Structure 1
């Protein structure tokens, strides 16, 4: 056994930390499915297996993926001071992440997409709204993870920073949604983007999902410009918001340029908004996320 540890570089402490983190992660992921059912006022198992509600499944999948993303920011592994602190930290950050993902969904419903009832639309099997809901949860999680990696320790200041960072995230997502609504209206004779979601325009949902996730990556990239300090937390968070706006604009410009090159000769508005071309929308989404990932890596 000692020879195996020497060859692989593993040690008993690391294996115990891994077992703790994986066990808590699986427990929390299971809890997310239950919470998703409770918030939608349905039995999650029945909705997924008996009712075969694909929209609900997509929404739950987004929430579970979002929690998994948050948990990657909560894991400290053998850097933790003790097994007990790792358990407390993983549970605390995991539960906080679960709550914030659900709160983010409520804020997204009431402030960003206030013209439609996402819960009722998902119950009615609207796959488009399920995709939008999942994308919003994942975008929120990406930024929560960035905050978890930015802060350190288990203090009141840490939790305040996480919640404040979460509010920065929601502000940016609402801002992007408003801009996309205006752009959609300008390209489609003042039609409503939210009404298009309610009418089941899947291509538009895919396009929008790419936009919100790339925005989350832009906000993540902005975090690399600031150093966490409890004493200057308010200034840092204000700076994060300002830099996030700048990075979001930069990502949008680079994405627009990349789309013109990759999708040369294609009228994107006509293909996605009017012809509901899922293929073109998927390429757009891939380009948006790719630019966000590349910029985040460069800033890191």
Structure 2
């Protein structure tokens, strides 16, 4: 802290005042810029006090802490992406309650009109169904199963989403969720384009896979997620009405992305993360294009 040891008090010598608050008398100076600062402008430093501007300037050169996977570390940051995804699914479900046409118009459907039906599908150019279906769930008309469907998926997203979003960062977490859901839709399209499906389960399975891969990489406890994953796989193949393609497609896509996110070399981590996300998207789009060409060949 720098002060004037014997401040002048003569009639011709003005009393020093804070550079930010001219009306406040002070004899304390910033240890960096030597300007006078009042108590409201003082910030504790290693030696003495600094002004607000010097502290702000000094922080610009400080490297922001990062998580093990390259995201900005912030223990108090709200999981905005997780809560937004939950909100979108709930809003979509309310839309299903209000109108029966929501599921019909936005569910995953590979083929519609080409097979003599009245609905369009992905093969007819309605590519949005590959994405919109992951925000829909079994409608209320399906009874208790409809409610159970969305309740379980939203519980799973709420339970593991925040921790994954914190370690991955917002854009990686969003990419993981959307690409996993897309992977489930694409596998259904490849295996059974005549079938239809709705649900965030493909994206949720992708999160399960990522939680396991990242947990193993970071030395965390993965027993609970393994139990949850095995239980859901058993249910997937035991219940005839469940689209196993959506679950397995999401699981495989999530695992692939998580491996790239977790094991990318630190020196090229950002490049690998962006490249892996883009490569998975390109692969999924290419598979859809090839399947669509095959389904529509010879159709006038």
Q: Same fold (TM over 0.5)?
A: no
Name which structure has the greater RCO, CA cutoff 8 Å, separation 6+: 1
Which structure features the higher share of helix residues? 1
TM-score in terms of structure 2 length? 0.32
TM-score in terms of structure 1 length? 0.32
